[in-house]
Amino acid sequence: MHEAYLIYPDIDPVLVHLGPLAIRWYALAYIAGLLLGWWLILKTLRDTRLWAGPPFGGKPPATADDIGDLVVWATLGVILGGRLGWVIFYGTILCSVSPHSSYCQGLPMEFVTNPIRIVAAWKGGMSFHGGLIGVAAALYFFCRARKLDLLKVGDLVASVAPVGLFFGRIANFVNGELWGKATDVPWAMIFCNDTIRAAYRGLCPAGDFPRHPSQLYEAALEGLVLFAILQIGIRVFNWHRRPGLTVAVFFLGYGVFRAFVELFREPDAPFLGPVSMGQLLSFFMLAVAAYFFWRAYRKPAPA
């Protein structure tokens, strides 16, 4: 066995058992991302300096009550979109390309023979790109119902989205999943401990050799770095005065960072040669980013 350069901590993915109910770190990551994002948007709305100039004229794009209601819509979008996205992108498309991969375990045919697998998120998994589509749909219908400006509210949501990404990737790390490729870098880890062995009948799916802690790479880039970029862009360079620009930078930043980290992350299953499913979906995000850049810059800057 190789000697790990850094020790992977033995953290139980379940924080506490309350009878038959298990409270998992992964669920808490979703809750923390939503609540902290909610709080940050409310704090942004209270910053009157941001809304003093055009195109706002002193009126923020939404009220605190609007954002409170939007959180409920967004929560449903994340859960439903994230699960449906995994079923489509990974369980169906990816597993149709690589049906014999250990990742697939009978998918996609099991969706037909055992339909309960479609909703069985506890067997894996959730897709960020699916969750993003779910939130975008929820945002569209919410703004339409409340007669709010979609791009302006979308910028608010995009500005805090990396918070949820950060907590989600930390939860992936705690779960010992989505690990990276084998490597000999000094910060490599062996994703194997007593908790993982207990869950997999004495085995460790990642093997007993050092790997990139790619979950932490994503937490840093898609979470901390992207959050800092968006906040600086709004508060220093007034990106929010061009509605849609913050959304564009979010899509661009996530697409670039995710595609980059996929170079170090072990693919769930082979897809299109050297291109992973995560990279392909991120390339689509770059196209979406280009559209929102066009929307943001098609008119002269507000005076």
pLDDT at 4 over 60: no
With respect to residue 7, please indicate whether it lies within any of the assigned structural domains: no
pLDDT at 25 over 70: yes
Integer Cα distance of 140 and 157 in angstroms: 12
Percent pLDDT > 70 in the chain is: 97
With respect to residue 274, please indicate whether it lies within any of the assigned structural domains: yes
The single-letter DSSP state of residue 7 is P
Integer Cα distance of 73 and 80 in angstroms: 11
With respect to residue 122, please indicate whether it lies within any of the assigned structural domains: no
Q: pLDDT class for 200, splitting at 50, 70, 90?
A: confident
Question: Residue 303: what pLDDT?
Answer: 65
What are the angstrom distances between the C-alpha of 187 and each of 5, 129, 227?
6, 28, 24
pLDDT at 123 over 60: yes
Mean pLDDT of 242-266: 98
With respect to residue 181, please indicate whether it lies within any of the assigned structural domains: yes
With respect to residue 67, please indicate whether it lies within any of the assigned structural domains: no
With respect to residue 154, please indicate whether it lies within any of the assigned structural domains: yes
23 DSSP β-pair partners: 16
Q: Domain span at residue 240?
A: 14-60+149-297
With respect to residue 139, please indicate whether it lies within any of the assigned structural domains: no
C-alpha atoms less than 13 angstroms from C-alpha of 243 in its C-beta half-sphere: 14
Distance of CA 269 to the CA centre of its chain: 19
Give burial (CB, 10 Å; 0-12/13-18/19+) of 67: buried
pLDDT at 226 over 70: yes
Amino acid at position 279, single letter = Q
With respect to residue 78, please indicate whether it lies within any of the assigned structural domains: no
Number of structural domains found in the chain: 1
With a threshold of 0.75, does the pTM exceed it? Answer: yes
Question: Sign of torsion, CA 148 151 155 158?
Answer: positive
Q: Which helix (H) or strand (E) holds 168?
A: helix 150-175
Q: What is the mean pLDDT of the chain?
A: 93
The candidate with the shortest Cα–Cα distance to 252, out of 220, 276, 283, is: 283
Question: Residue 45: what pLDDT?
Answer: 97
